[in-house]
């Protein structure tokens, strides 16, 4: 049996209707921006394997750091114990995060990072004996697949089986160009009519919605409104963190700092699942008390796994090299040129770029759904050409590893141009 045949016998894949979907491609190795399948077909990984891998597959620098940690201290429980790798990650993050972030809480993935932030927002007010139970979120947000993260997410077909079982979430429009005032007014109105604990948002770019972008000033204004009303703000930087937007964090563009930040995806350079939620001292202090009941009773078995921490430290080191920063700039310039080239194409609705993120909306006759027919046609075309891109409906986006070469980038652009002609 091939790997693919064995897979269909035993495995259940994410976001997959096994009856109607194609069989998965078995990948046997990766190097840099490239992957090879079991038949040795080569693919360019133009979405960094779901946005986790900025420094390339099988990165030797991170692998060495992991090996060294594995043979020193692979894991120790974090309840009642601590270790140098966790402390170093915390020190490093506090140095590079927005200045008001002072406390670091570890978990395992983006959803748990969000889950922790939402629980903290709710318990913060519980600890202060204030009844505030509503969470504000953007329309079409994506914050993950655990329950609170799902509740805060707006992509309805993901969550329709669970409607009515969620925490209280009220959605406001995203302040995309021309819709800013509507968004501000909606936020003010929600705050007036509900007991709001927190506002969670993907700063500047809504990834899963199809790389929907909005301005830093609009976000600053929304955060200001929250601050005036003592609503805690949560920046979900799970996708945007670690250089994707051209700065280390998307919040580096925004003049107002959030109360909490969620990190995962590129945190360990795409090697080991790990996540972090960060907090201001003020948030932490609402849990700091002689009363044990005011503590945050949340944890995961592999919290602050030393091996993951070593991978994170190596990744942040790589991100901070001049070479990697130059790569990010190079890709951004290249994207802007490609954007100029195709944005006036008759089949293109709009194209947009921020940092290494590029997205193009393609004209479609039918109302295009997330997994609609154009999406399938595009996806299959890209795979056939050896380029891994996962369009969202009629939106094709690129989020490449920063080490992708110009030649590989040009191939990705060319494939997208061909796809636009084809559909
Ligand atoms: C991917 C993502 C998550 C969820 O992360 P998982 O590791 O898949 O649980 C949460 N928020 C944002 C913005 C994401 O892009």
Q: Among 90, 92, 100, which residue's Cα sits nearest to residue 232?
A: 100
Matching CATH topology for 63-319 and 323-399+409-422?
no
HSE value, Cβ hemisphere, 13 Å, CA-based, for 415? 26
- Taking the centre of ligand 1 as the mean of its atom positions, its distance from the CA of residue 218, in whole angstroms, is 23
What is the best residue among 143, 153, 210, 235 to mutate for testing ligand 1's pocket, by most ligand atoms within 8 Å of CB? 143
- Burial code (b: 16+ CB inside 10 Å, e: under 16) for 363-381 equals ebeeebebbbebbeebbeb
Nearest CA to ligand 1 atom 10: 143
- Taking the centre of ligand 1 as the mean of its atom positions, its distance from the CA of residue 106, in whole angstroms, is 15
Ligand 1 pocket (Cβ < 6 Å) reads 109-111, 114, 142-144, 202, 207-208, 236, 238-239, 264
What is the best residue among 50, 52, 117, 142 to mutate for testing ligand 1's pocket, by most ligand atoms within 8 Å of CB? 142
Q: In CATH, which of 3.90.1300.10, 3.30.465.10, 3.90.1150.10, 3.30.70.260 is domain 323-399+409-422?
A: 3.90.1150.10
Contacts of residue 43, defined as CB under 8 A and 6 or more positions apart, other chains included, come to: 25, 27, 34, 35, 36, 37, 383, 386, 387, 388
User: How many Å is the maximal CA-CA distance in the chain?
Assistant: 66
CATH number belonging to domain 63-319: 3.40.640.10
Closest atom, ligand 1, to C-alpha of 145: 9
Query: Domain residue spans in the chain?
Result: 63-319, 323-399+409-422
Closest atom, ligand 1, to C-alpha of 239: 15
- Taking the centre of ligand 1 as the mean of its atom positions, its distance from the CA of residue 114, in whole angstroms, is 8
Predicted confidence pLDDT, tens digits, the chain (423 residues): 889 999 999 999 999 999 999 899 999 999 999 999 999 999 999 999 999 999 999 999 999 999 999 999 999 999 999 999 999 999 999 999 999 999 999 999 999 999 999 999 999 999 999 999 999 999 999 999 999 999 999 867 778 899 899 999 999 999 999 999 999 999 999 999 999 999 999 999 999 999 999 999 999 999 999 999 999 999 999 999 999 999 999 999 999 999 999 999 999 999 999 999 999 999 999 999 999 999 999 999 999 999 999 999 999 999 999 999 999 999 999 999 999 999 999 999 999 999 999 999 999 876 656 667 889 999 999 999 999 999 999 999 999 999 999 999 999 999 999 999 998
What is the best residue among 108, 112, 114 to mutate for testing ligand 1's pocket, by most ligand atoms within 8 Å of CB? 114
Q: In terms of C-beta distances under 8 Å and separation of at least 24 residues, what long-range contacts does 364-367 make, across chains too?
A: 364/393, 364/394, 364/423
């Amino acid at each position: 049996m091939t790997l693919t045949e064995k897979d269909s016998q035993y495995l259940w894949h994410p976001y997959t209707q096994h009856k109607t979907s194609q069989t998965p491609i078995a990948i046997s190795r990766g190097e840099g921006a490239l992957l090879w399948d079991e038949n040795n077909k080569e693919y360019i990984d133009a979405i960094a394997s779901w946005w986790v891998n900025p420094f390339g597959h099988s990165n030797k620098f991170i692998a060495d750091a992991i090996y060294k940690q594995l043979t020193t201290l692979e894991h120790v429980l974090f309840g009642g114990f601590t270790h140098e790798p966790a402390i170093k990650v915390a020190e490093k993050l506090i140095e590079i995060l927005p200045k008001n972030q002072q406390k670091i809480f570890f978990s395992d993935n983006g959803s748990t990072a969000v889950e922790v932030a939402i629980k903290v927002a709710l318990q913060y007010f519980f600890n202060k004996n204030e009844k505030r139970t509503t969470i504000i979120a953007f329309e079409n947000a994506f914050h993950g697949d655990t329950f609170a993260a799902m509740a805060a997410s707006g992509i309805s077909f993901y969550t329709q089986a669970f409607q009515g079982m969620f925490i209280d979430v009220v959605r406001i429009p995203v302040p995309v160009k021309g819709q800013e005032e509507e968004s501000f007014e909606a936020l003010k109105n929600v705050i007036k009519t509900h007991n709001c604990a927190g506002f969670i948002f993907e700063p500047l770019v809504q990834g899963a919605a199809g790389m929907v972008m909005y301005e830093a000033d609009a976000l600053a204004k929304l955060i200001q409104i929250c601050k005036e009303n003592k609503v805690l703000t949560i920046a979900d930087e799970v996708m945007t963190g670690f250089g994707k937007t051209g700065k280390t964090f998307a919040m580096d563009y925004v003049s107002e700092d959030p109360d909490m930040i969620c990190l995962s995806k590129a945190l360990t350079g795409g090697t080991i699942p790990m996540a972090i939620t960060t907090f201001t001292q003020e948030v932490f202090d609402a849990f700091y008390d002689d009363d044990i009941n005011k503590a945050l009773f949340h944890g995961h078995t592999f919290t602050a796994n030393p091996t993951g921490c070593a991978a994170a430290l190596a990744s942040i080191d790589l991100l901070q090299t001049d070479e990697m920063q130059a790569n990010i700039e190079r890709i951004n310039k290249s994207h802007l040129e490609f954007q100029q080239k195709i944005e006036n194409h008759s089949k293109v609705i709009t194209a947009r770029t921020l940092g290494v993120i590029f997205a193009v909306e393609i004209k479609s006759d039918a109302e295009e759904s997330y997994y609609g027919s154009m999406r399938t046609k595009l996806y299959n075309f890209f795979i056939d050409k050896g380029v891994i891109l996962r369009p969202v409906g009629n939106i094709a986006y690129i989020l490449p590893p920063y080490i992708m070469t110009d030649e590989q980038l040009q191939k990705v652009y060319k494939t997208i141009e061909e796809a636009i002609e084809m559909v």
